[in-house]
């Protein structure tokens, strides 16, 4: 990691004021859409009809999410998308529903994201990660009028270490 001029690492320098840095692992083909692509399947926090995309607040959490949902072989041409969203466009879920970590995904948990997206209250909703304590995911409302304020900072090649797949 490179150092910023004042001694902070490069990731810290990506934070602008109260901006939130977000990450997503994607195939090279899908990376062209940046953070605008809604998820095309039901997720923990939303149904496919909600026009919601997912991101994470750390690169490691984005990799965990990608691997947890990967079916079959690892794509050979992956990308790590890095973005930034103004903090005032991010809402944090105050209290997750009971049993929100359970699988299969629960309708009352998906309803949280669906209702949030339909309300148009914010561009992003920060929710806890079911995979890793103290990590966060973000639901991105791809239909929100201010969604275009999500800035793509980087799109770098990513190789998944084979030890993570065995």
Cα dist. 145→50, 133, 138, 140 in Å?
Answer: 15, 32, 17, 12
- How does pLDDT run across 141-163, given as a tens digit for each residue? 999 999 999 999 999 999 888 78
10 pLDDT band (50/70/90 cuts)?
very low
95-99 long-range contacts (CB < 8 A, ≥24 apart) are 96/127, 96/128
Considering the domain boundaries, does residue 54 fall inside one?
yes
Residue 156: strand pairing partners: 80
Q: What number is the average pLDDT over the span 51-62?
A: 97
pLDDT exceeds 70 at position 3: no
Considering the domain boundaries, does residue 62 fall inside one?
yes
**Rounded to the nearest 5°, which phi and psi values hold at 94?**
-70, -40
d(CA 110, CA 2): 39
- How does pLDDT run across 66-119, given as a tens digit for each residue? 999 887 777 789 999 999 999 999 999 999 999 999 999 999 999 999 999 999
Considering the domain boundaries, does residue 10 fall inside one?
no
What pTM was computed for the model?
0.86
Q: What number is the average pLDDT over the span 51-57?
A: 97
Considering the domain boundaries, does residue 38 fall inside one?
yes
Total count of domains within the chain: 1
The residue segments making up the domain with residue 97 are 17-158
d(CA 145, CA 107): 27
Considering the domain boundaries, does residue 7 fall inside one?
no
Q: What is the mean pLDDT of the chain?
A: 89
pLDDT value at position 166?
Answer: 63
């Amino acid at each position: 990691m490179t150092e910023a001029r004042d001694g902070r690492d490069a990731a810290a320098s990506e934070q602008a004021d109260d901006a939130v840095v977000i990450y997503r692992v994607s195939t090279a083909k899908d990376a062209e859409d940046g953070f605008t692509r809604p998820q095309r399947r039901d997720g923990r926090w939303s149904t496919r009809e909600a026009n919601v995309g997912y991101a994470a607040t750390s690169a490691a959490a984005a990799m965990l999410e990608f691997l947890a949902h990967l079916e079959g072989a690892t794509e050979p041409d992956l990308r790590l998308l890095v973005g930034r969203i103004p903090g005032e466009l991010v809402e944090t879920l105050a209290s997750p529903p009971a049993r929100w970590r359970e699988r299969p995904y629960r309708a009352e948990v998906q309803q949280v994201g669906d209702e949030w997206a339909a309300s148009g209250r914010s561009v992003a909703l920060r929710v806890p990660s079911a995979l890793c304590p103290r990590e966060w995911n973000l639901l991105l409302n791809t239909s929100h009028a201010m969604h275009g304020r999500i800035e793509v900072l980087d799109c770098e090649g990513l190789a998944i270490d084979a030890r993570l797949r065995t």
